[in-house]
Amino acid sequence: MAIRLHFWGAAQTVTGSSHHIECAGQNVLLDCGLFQGRRQQATEINSHLALTPEQLAASGLNAVVLSHAHIDHSGVLPLLTRQGYRGPIYTTPATIDLCVPMLKDSAHIQESDAEFMGRRHGRRKAIGVPPGPLPVAPLYTQEDAAEVNRHFHPVKLHEPQLLAGSRRDAGFTMTSFNAGHMLGSSCVLLDAVENGQTTRLLFSGDVGRKNLPIIRDPDPAPAADYLIMESTYGDRLHAPVGDVKAKLAAIVKRVTARGGHIIVPSFAVERTQQLVLLLHELIDAKQIPEMPIFVDSPLALAVTEVFEKHTEEWDEEPAAFVAKGEDPFGWKRLTYTHTVQESKALNDLRMPFIVLSASGMCEAGRILHHLKNGIEDPRNLVLIAGYQAENTLGRKLVDKLPEVNIFGEPMRVRAEVDSIDSLSGHADQQELLDWMAPAAPTLKKVFLVHGEPAAQQALKAKIEARYKLEVLCPKRGDRFEVG
């Protein structure tokens, strides 16, 4: 039998996760994620990540399986449905509820971006400056995003779900396992059957870590014949999760002592809820002073409601707050800013405060206004709390560039920039090696995806040495036949 793997995205790069799997004439797409990076390249790549209507019809795509709600895994689904895909999208109930506000928000960003480009083009043309590339239509609209919601099909962890064909002769069955990476995240085991023979392909999605706040630890990897595994931090070791509270407390005390603000570019999903929970615990334990904390992101607000609803995903921390009669996500203690006016009013506050705002890589959203207003003041601190992809503003701050562009204006980076990476939802090198250990004895080959080349090469060497397995790092568009 033969299974064909076609790597569309997150191949030698971190974003745009999408892999097409074919067996016995049945077709499954694992993830349909948005590529994030330089504008022109991103537009080019993203419009090719989903099949054209003709390709879609020819592909005979039976099912889409979504590992988790992050936009770099789910963000091109609206384009897929716009091109005519009407089949099911299988994923966990929490992922479905997260995707509703997240895809809407992503569509809103696409729409605003296209509008901005259009205005800039017009302005430049009017004053005789070369206007640059022609304005583009948004990749997809909020209407396209809403269409996706009609195709979600919830799956329960550990329960096999037939995706295409039949279980016995020819077809695909999936079983999902908790990935411990974000609320609702899963790893997917695909049983591909042809002529009664089964080949098991394990897709890691994004592998999480033990002891992360809020969510439960990852399930051990199930036995499989082939593994497609992420490699985001394939060359890194994180500080233990337990260190994060002490570091966060030290930062808050240092900045409040000098009368500054803490500006946290924070992913609206997971990182914001984790930081809110940790700040809440620190204030309760009187380890940091009471001070205003603002969550300035309408998306974070919508997502926090999803976190509250899906108690089946919680570990003991949020449950402990509930047992004390408190709310873990701090509705009473924090201020969730709803409107742009409320957001702008923060600029006039003359006392120390913390503001968490999206986007997490500082590419768009209200965080840009907070950075513009605060980055040139040495009393302030920009707290980087998540992964920053190449060429993003967040990455430039981590790399300590003395000057950055915000809304097209050069600005001096005088604020302190500090990072906490121990909240990372991604397993580090050692954690990836340990996670795959239960699957390793039966594996025939490993495909590394979702990582930059240096991280992939480091992880590949470790897997080869520890498990004596063949490891491949496919490029975008590469095809392989296995089984």
Residues that bind Zn ion (CB under 5 A): 70, 206
Residue 328 and residue 318 in contact, taking contact as beta carbons nearer than 8 Å:
yes
In whole angstroms, the minimum distance from the beta carbon of 404 to Zn ion comes to 25
472 C-beta neighbours (distance < 10 Å), count: 16
In whole angstroms, the minimum distance from the beta carbon of 181 to Zn ion comes to 6
In whole angstroms, the minimum distance from the beta carbon of 206 to Zn ion comes to 4
| Closer of 147 and 206 to Zn ion (Cβ) | 206
Beta bridge partners of 293: 354
| Closer of 265 and 352 to Zn ion (Cβ) | 265
| Closer of 27 and 186 to Zn ion (Cβ) | 186
In whole angstroms, the minimum distance from the beta carbon of 27 to Zn ion comes to 24
Task: Kindly provide the residue ranges of all beta strands, DSSP E only, lying in 110-170, ordered along the sequence.
Answer: 152-154, 161-165
Output the CA angle 63-67-71, nearest 5 degrees.
105
Q: What one-letter code names the amino acid at 197? A: Q
475 C-beta neighbours (distance < 10 Å), count: 10
Residue 74 and residue 103 in contact, taking contact as beta carbons nearer than 8 Å:
yes
Residue 193 and residue 179 in contact, taking contact as beta carbons nearer than 8 Å:
no
In whole angstroms, the minimum distance from the beta carbon of 427 to Zn ion comes to 11
| Closer of 74 and 110 to Zn ion (Cβ) | 74
User: Which residues have C-beta within 8 Å of that of residue 252, sequence separation ≥ 6?
Assistant: 262, 279, 282, 288, 289, 291, 354
| Closer of 206 and 296 to Zn ion (Cβ) | 206
| Closer of 138 and 208 to Zn ion (Cβ) | 208
| Closer of 179 and 288 to Zn ion (Cβ) | 179
Burial grade of 478 (CB within 10 A; 0-12, 13-18, 19 or more): middle
Task: Kindly provide the residue ranges of all beta strands, DSSP E only, lying in 309-433, ordered along the sequence.
Answer: 335-336, 354-357, 381-384, 403-406, 409-412, 416-419
In whole angstroms, the minimum distance from the beta carbon of 361 to Zn ion comes to 13
In whole angstroms, the minimum distance from the beta carbon of 58 to Zn ion comes to 30
Whether the upstream peptide bond of residue 359 has omega within 30° of 0, thus cis, is yes
| H or E element at residue 260 | none
Closest Cα partner for 417 from 402, 435, 427?
Answer: 402
Closest Cα partner for 297 from 355, 344, 364, 358?
Answer: 358
| Closer of 271 and 280 to Zn ion (Cβ) | 271
| Closer of 208 and 483 to Zn ion (Cβ) | 208
In whole angstroms, the minimum distance from the beta carbon of 307 to Zn ion comes to 16
In whole angstroms, the minimum distance from the beta carbon of 47 to Zn ion comes to 22
